[in-house]
Amino acid sequence: MTRIGVVVALAREAKTLLAEIEQPPHSSSAPATVSIRTSGVGAENATKAATQLVNDGVTGLLSWGVAGALVPGLKTGQLLLPRHIIDDEGVQRAADTAWPRRAVAALSHRARPVTAPVAQTRAVLADTAAKTELGRSTGACAADMESFAVGTVAEASGVQFLTVRCIVDNLEMNIPSAVGRAVRPDGHDNLFALVGPCLRNPWLLIDLIRLGLAFNTAAQSLRQAAKGFGRDQLGFDSHAQQ
């Protein structure tokens, strides 16, 4: 039985995939068993979750969720299927050659994913200047905090690797520093923690509403992607050479 392990940082990201993988597969090939781990934010948490999945016997690791744009032209809701993930020292983790090809084919009738590299970021990129600098130094089109870590575990373990991400914040959108308080260590929402900051700075509420709407748009794109290949082994090629 093919087993795919999915690492997501946020519970809200996991929900975009759960409904689809719980359905019977469309494919005539043997269905894959899909295990989802909500890791919490950041590389350390993603590494732990990916390692647990490998120890459980998965044959492929998928990093699934949202990302921030580093270049102009990437809009909220744009789907990403990067061929490489790059860290801040220029080290690359490559997606398996067969899996992205199958995934792109499965998604082609619903979206045209961008395949340019995605960079690792160790902290939330709060403004245009920080995003632009990371894009310039790495050549990446977008950034997230977990995919490089998942790719590192996959490479060390000899299992296949894929990243599917969707843009939340475009290059011009600023991210309030209080956002980090809204997520518990386990990746679930903690919106009550934002009440105090919003009372002290009412303008913060506007930024948070704008970010929330952007996240909803990205989540809808991820749901559409899940419909495109979520019930067909996530585009996984069980016959690819390990």
Cα 236 off chain centre by: 17
> What share of the chain has pLDDT > 90, as a percent?
46
Q: Is residue 15 part of a domain?
A: yes
In this structure, what token pair is assigned to residue 22? 């719980």
pLDDT at 27: 41
Check if the beta carbon of residue 64 is closer than 8 Å to that of residue 211. no
**pLDDT tens digits, one per residue of 94-107:** 877 677 777 777 67
**pLDDT tens digits, one per residue of 204-220:** 788 888 888 999 999 99
Check if the beta carbon of residue 43 is closer than 8 Å to that of residue 88. no
**pLDDT tens digits, one per residue of 120-163:** 999 889 899 999 999 999 999 999 999 999 999 999 999 989 99
Q: Cα separation of 5 and 230, whole Å?
A: 13
In this structure, what token pair is assigned to residue 204? 């913060």
Q: Cα separation of 14 and 168, whole Å?
A: 15
Q: Is residue 242 part of a domain?
A: no
Q: Is residue 51 part of a domain?
A: yes
Q: What is the mean pLDDT of residues 178-190?
A: 78
Q: Is residue 81 part of a domain?
A: yes
Q: Cα separation of 222 and 18, whole Å?
A: 11
pLDDT at 218: 94
Cα angle 161, 157, 25; round to 5? 45
Q: Cα separation of 200 and 123, whole Å?
A: 24
Domain range holding 107?
3-235
* Total-model pTM: 0.86
Q: Identify the band that residue 24 occupies on the pLDDT scale cut at 50, 70 and 90.
A: very low
Q: Cα separation of 66 and 81, whole Å?
A: 11
Q: What is the mean pLDDT of residues 51-76?
A: 94
Q: Cα separation of 79 and 65, whole Å?
A: 10
Check if the beta carbon of residue 95 is closer than 8 Å to that of residue 162. yes
**Long-range Cβ pairs for the range 47-52 (8 Å, 24+):** 47/149, 47/150, 47/152, 47/153, 49/7, 50/5, 50/7, 50/149, 50/150, 50/153, 50/154, 51/153
Q: Is residue 123 part of a domain?
A: yes
Measured CA to CA in angstroms, residue 11 lies from 38, 64, 66, 155 at distances of: 6, 11, 12, 25
Q: Cα separation of 78 and 167, whole Å?
A: 5
Q: Cα separation of 126 and 169, whole Å?
A: 10
Domains held by the chain: number: 1
Q: Cα separation of 165 and 155, whole Å?
A: 19
CATH, residue 42: 3.40.50.1580
Residue 25 pLDDT > 60, yes or no? no
**pLDDT tens digits, one per residue of 30-59:** 445 788 899 999 999 999 999 999 999 998
